[in-house]
Amino acid sequence: MSIVVASRSFARNPALRAELTARYPDATFTTSPTVLAGGELINFLRGHERAIVGLEQIDEAVLAQVPELRVISKYGVGLDGLDLDAIAARGVKLAWTGGVNRRSVSELTLAFAIALLHRVPESGATLRAGTWQPLVGRQLTGRTVGIIGCGFVGQDLVRLLAPFECRVLARDIRDYPEFYAGNLVEPVPLDRLLAEAEIVTLHVPLDASTRGMIGGAELARMRKGTFLINAARGGLVDEAALEAALASGHLAGAACDVYQLEPDANPRLLALPTFMGTPHIGGSSEEAQLAMGRAAIEGLESARLIGGGWPA
């Protein structure tokens, strides 16, 4: 069995390398400083039956050139880099484990919320500029938080918010009645969530139904002084509209861990004093990396053929 690891994050982790090679001594690891793509990715995958991939784009063009690849195991939880239709059509098995980085992402989201409310980005900028200007912020306790996407990460965030006695609104295409009832979460339509929440946070996958879901119209529905957090996928938010909402003061602040074009974060957003940005670190805690890596290792054996509607 020939194993190849295209994910840079996995390949750079000594513990994961050791665990994988203990099972598969001849595994090959990428040494590329950038995400493999196109011809480089095809050449790297060639001659291997099973692959662990992270941010690499696996589509029909790649699969057509590597017919020997029969198993793909995903390091991480995002599926937007994988052409599921092409994978299914070619009979390639896929392994994916949802929610393995949930605590890491939910903790970062909570940190964003507290930092924005206490005006940490603005205070830090003025202090670095040589001005001592204590700014008056707000507490998270008692705020109304709107969670768009109440799956693995969204539900974990609800649990983290419990000590802060927040009113929590949720919008999801799926219904979680027992969870909502047990955690005092109010399921509401998106328009109502946007209109009532003081903090709006996104936790949905990126696909055709969610791409650009927060644009100018949605930002306008949010009450003046609201905060927006996106630690899910960059394509969910229209960055030009977000920039305008922050510049005008309609939004009090925003935090993003993800961007429309990565690794090129939006410089206009980063220049705004009410914006807080990080370079896609939500799932990069040591604990999350190990959990994602171990799931990917197990997936080399547990991968299965996929069909319409996968993953369930």
**Domain residue ranges in the chain:** 3-100+285-302, 102-277
* pLDDT score of 274: 96
How far does CA 94 lie from the centroid of its chain? 20
Active site residue 262: yes
Out of 60, 68, 165, 262, the active site residue is: 262
**CB-based burial, 231-252: b 16+ in 10 Å, e otherwise:** bbbbbbbbbebbbebbeeeebb
Closest CA to 134 of 119, 144, 117: 119
Per-residue pLDDT in tens (0 to 9) along the chain, 312 residues: 799 999 999 999 999 999 999 999 999 999 999 999 999 999 999 999 999 999 999 999 999 999 999 999 999 988 889 999 999 999 999 999 999 999 999 999 999 999 999 999 999 999 999 999 999 999 999 999 999 999 999 999 999 999 999 999 999 999 999 999 999 999 999 999 999 999 999 999 999 999 999 999 999 999 999 999 999 999 999 999 999 999 999 999 999 999 999 888 999 999 999 999 999 999 989 999 999 999 999 999 999 998 755 665
Candidates 48, 103, 171, 233; catalytic one: 233
Residue 169 · residue 191 · CB < 8 Å: no
Q: Give the per-residue pLDDT at 263.
A: 85
Helix 102-117 × helix 286-302 angle, to 10°? 150
Spatial contact of 54 and 33, defined as CB atoms under 8 Å apart: no
**Cis preceding-peptide flag for 134 (omega within 30 of 0):** no
Rounded Cα gap, residues 210 and 181, in angstroms: 26
pLDDT of residue 307: 77
> 10 Å Cβ neighbour count for 302?
13
In this chain, the answer to whether the domains covering 3-100+285-302 and 102-277 adopt an identical fold is yes
Active-site residue 233, yes or no? yes
* Catalytic pick among 50, 102, 119, 280: 280
Residue whose C-alpha is closest to residue 188's, from 228, 148, 154? 148
Which CATH superfamily groups domain 3-100+285-302?
A: NAD(P)-binding Rossmann-like Domain (3.40.50.720)
280 included as an active-site residue: yes
The fold of the 102-277 domain, in CATH, is Rossmann fold (3.40.50)
CB atoms within 10 A of CB 164: 16
